[in-house]
Structure 1
Amino acid sequence: MKRKSRYTSDKFSKINLRHLVSFLLVTSTTVGFGVECQAQITSAEINNQTRINPQLIAQQAAYTLGTGDRVRVDVFDVPEYSGEYLVLIDGSLNLPIIGSVNVRGLTLPQATQLITREYAPYVRRPIVTVSLLEPRPIKVAVAGEVNRPGSFKVNLEGSEFPTLTQAITLAGGTTGAADVSSIQIRRQAGSGEVVNLLALIRSGDLSQDPLLRDGDEIFVPTRNNIDPGELRQIEAANFVPQNQPREVAIVGEVSRPGTYTVGGEIPPTVTRAIQSAGGVTPMAEVSSIIVRRPTRQGGEQIIAIDLLQLLRQGDLTQDLILQQGDTILIPTASQIDPAENRQLADATFGIRAVEPVKVAIVGEVTRPGSYTINAGGGNAQGAGSGSTPPTLTEAIQTAGGITALADVRQVEVRRPTRQGTERVISINLWQLLQSGDLAQDVLLQDGDTIVIPTATAIDPAEAANLAEASFSPERIQVNIVGEVKNPGSVEVPPNTPLNQAILAAGGFDNTRARRGSVELIRLNPNGTVAKRNIPVDFSEGIDQENNPPLRPGDVVVVNRSTLTRVSDTLGTVLSPVGRFFSLFNFLRIFD
């Protein structure tokens, strides 16, 4: 037979109502915020409790008890029935008098109602309060686009439950393929919600970072469309790993394709990865770079990057932050834009000569052949230092400069691609000379072949300008023959006028030369030979008619004067007679 409590209704009626309400308010604000049963409190009294945290009220109302929770059970005015208890492994509480009570899966209000019913036979009109003192570690699962998917146990500090972003951080943060605007939370009771962390990032909407419960399952889906600008916003969030080393592959038009580890102290971006690979080549199409990103579902995302937009407009969204396993593809340009190459040479990830460049130069240059050239021109003696590659004009200078027959308007650079094909770049060096168009002085790539064609016609005015160009030879060779003091081949600077070339050969022979004019013999581009008489005046400046500038290979013939020709003729005629008298004088010796 059950024993009735000594606490009857007569004694209960003597209890001061004010003390009862005070007790209820105090116990309701303890750690874990207890929930009481059968206590009626007016709305005015509730509004006066300014210390009540509405978020904790909602949190505790949803919390379900389980193994490891430490709770306090208070039976009003029955201290021997009150105390702190641990939810045992079977989900029960071992309470005085009533013994084992199974509370697993119950919320605090539900547990309060159950214990109240259990004590009703022993305590008349029992008033029971159940408070959560120390919640058990909760277990959540995180799957999808996170770096370390799996289940995680979270030790709670006081009544602080973990948030969604904290759980994602435990899972290593989201990947670059994550759709953080549609994260799914599935609960044990079968309910769930969809959370938009972009709203948290952009507007600070804390409702999008909900508190988690034991047994929650979090799924981070894969995004369908990639927005580089959005990715940069997400990468700055605290639930995304920062600057961790990541292994990526770089293929296509870079100096050293391969696998690289990027990141660490600096963000692992596309441009950093390209720098690690030695920069792009002159054949790179940097406006159409592709980043291939693997997803957790075994698929692949394609992200289009335009680094020209980064260079010209400073659009940092194009400098994508890389993820583990990304592959960067630098395609080959269908057409070479020399001006664009010049821009790339100035970029941090741009065209670099990591090693000396090997090129072939054929056609109208002084010394056609194969050359290994360092940046800045000149034959290479060792490895390069990663500076800007050599240019077309530097290569021509290395080959001794162009000849007088060169057609600089139709120079070609034939460039092999990584696909085994060949691209032809048409260059107009005359445009470089006339308007200073540096885009015509293209950057060279290893394996280039430079073709300098032969001109069909030479404009004398153009020839003079070309002779002064940096890619013309520093000195040219002309032949001065005939009646000069030092006949033969003479080296003179380009554009040297005819009269100065004669002086370079020692000047006229004062006794034999015809001083009035000389003959100029010149080989034309079409293979014909031009010959004309040029009057000589040593006080004359450069003049195309009377004192033309010489070209490489010109021949200047200084003829004999009339007196010299007569003298030489007489000497030839009289030479046998002279030999006769010489023989006669010899025979007289024997007389």
Structure 2
Amino acid sequence: MRTNDKLSPTLSLTRRLRTTFVLLLLTAAMQALAQQPAQSRVDQLTDAQVEEFYRRAQASGLNEMQIETYAMSQGYTLDDIAKMRKRIANIRSQTSRPGSQTGIRGNNRLNNRGNTGTRGNVNEPSMESGRMLPDDLSQRDDSLQLLPRQDTVRKLRVFGASLFENASLSFEPNLRIATPRNYIVGPDDEISIDISGAASDNFQLRVTPEGTVKVPNVQPIFVSGLTIEQAEQRIIARLRKAGYQGLGVPGSGIDANVALTNIRSIRVTLVGEVVRPGTYTISSLGSAFNALYLAGGPNPETGSFRKISVIRGNRVVRTIDLYNFVLHADQRDNIRLQDQDVIRVADYETHVELTGEVRRPAIFELLPGETLKTLLSFAGGFGDDAYRASITLRRNTSRERQMVSITEDQIATFIPQRGDKYFVGKILERYENRVQVAGAVMRPGDYALGQGLETVRQLITRAEGLRKDAFTNRATIIRERPDMDHENLSFDLGKLMRGEIADISLVSQDSLTVFSIRDLREEYYVTIEGAVNKPDTIEFVNNMSVADLIAKAGGFQEGAKPTLIEVARRIRQDSVGIRTTMQEVYRFSVDPNLRITQFEGGPGTGSGGSSAFRLQPFDIVYVRTSANYEPQRQVHVYGEIMQPGNYVIFNREERIADLIRRAGGLKPEAYLSGAQYRRKGQLVGNDLRNLLTDPGGEENLLLKEGDTLFIPRRSEVVYIQGAVLNQSSVSYKADYNFNDYITESGGFTENARQSKAYVVYPNGRKDRTRRFLWANLRPNVEPGSTIVVPFRPDDDRNLSPTERIGIFSLIGTLAATTATVLINVLR
């Protein structure tokens, strides 16, 4: 019965205030969410704009701190600056990968050109309507967007550039070979003169800066600019005049040998489009390739690999074409350099790309007059799967791009132009004259349709005929229609092969399938299970008996019961109504010689008895185990026991106490309260302290195979873990309780769940703290125990400062409103 008293208006007012409080709380939460910051200004920038900012910052010469100060003055926050740093780092990491084509990479050419003021990057951003976009995007108007673009994502390498990136190829001259006879002698060369025979002498002569060598008691001999052979003749002639009569004359008995023992260094200069232009000091035996390698070779972006001039005395003495060396190992252009030679690498004139099914896709340099056939030879020719009938060309015109198809007949005369991009496609994955045969024929596979193989019978004859398991009542042909759909053609293969129906003509892409009788039925098998050595499921073989199957299974196991063998067979024949039996079961007995005697048969066994019984597909043979046969089952006991080791379970009623007695009992140091009993590797919490005095207790478990009993010594340590100030191990004291051990570890931490603390005893049992009224009843602590104090979980639902302010404001408003309402009510 509902009553009205003085408290009823107050309760009703409390309910209304509670509803109002919830509504105001939801309003404050929505306002806090609405005050979340908008998307960062950095997130609104495109990658192209970030790249442009990075370039301008580099070009300005400002340091990183000055750039950040400028950004903050423009309204960017510290978070924005951090995001900008991250985006720039990501873009720089992408541009450092091989084949990257982003805009930041373009400054490399600027540095290599000596800061000429020309940016060598084809991807410089352009301004369109206040936005920064790459040129290839802002200026491209491709009306055929559906066609697949052949431009590769990975940037192609310039052919020949890898020659100068190979660390094992330096073109260093061999200084241990004999001096070439055409070697030009110059200052700082050292010449050795060895006189032997009727007179003996030796001179080591260095060529002076004036170009002479000084032999004692002989006027200076000028040898600079002469070959080593000419210098030898001039020196011997002077020595002959100086007193060495007959020197070098046959039959005089005095010989002279002039050799170059130390060579000088020369200085050559590399200019033009090289990676590292400058003046280099090299051996006087150094060649043009040696100098080019030292300078990093031609600049792949701008330099020519086919027009490299060696200038000597303001005259070009050799024009080097590196393609001759790369493609043909021709070193005729690798001439020996002389002092003050200049090597100039010109700008390339024509670069074209060749990709697709060629052996060496790359960017190639062509000279005037060279044809597409020459370009293909540079690329190693067509690939094995190349479509040679037509080559696709993308050519730049004065306003846009143009597509050109080049036939095979035009290759020899077609002249490439600068910027051409050639693509060689791949042949189709189909055959123009293929037919297939699969299934129950002697040689299934692909065959060529043509004269002598035009019909189904001819195809089967070519496949060496049908197999014996062929299903001849039906075969199928899968044929491709003109619209590339497929249709199925079925026919009686037996009648066709006997000539009773007309032979069927084949067309290209036909696929003939001859079924096997095994394809039209389940896979036949029989199974044997139970007490045999190799239980298995094997393929069914006709005329197999139960004894045959037992022999295939390796015979009986030791515990087999040969007098009880069952065969379960599926019911195949249909019958009227529903049968109560689902399987047919046959039982046999066997003698030691595997002779089976049927003592209980199923329906339809016939008069032949067990000797006529044969297995049928899907039969399952069960070999039972003797009821009294048991393999040995062991348990293990160790620790403070008289006779530790493995023990067999000899009856079904043996328990833990019986195992301890069989092991000779406990040692004096045994601590039965801490005994650990494990089953299947898991610790079973069990208190065995009263096991020997009370064998009938529930703790005295029945033994099972694999059980383990460990009886330790008495532990004198207690472990404290978890939310305590000092996790430690302390010695056990009989007069200490739970709180005393917590004090030993420094007490609880601030985030400790004191009411959830528990103790893990050494025998695997656990005991928790219990709550009674306002007090925590702590568990007892025994030797070897572990005290665990859980941590309080982190509160991941902390309110943000904005939410706290909103809630406090709401509570204050609500309190003022409540006070006003109460005052009005009390009046």
TM-score, normalized by length of structure 2? 0.21
Larger relative contact order (Cα-Cα within 8 Å, sequence gap ≥ 6): 1
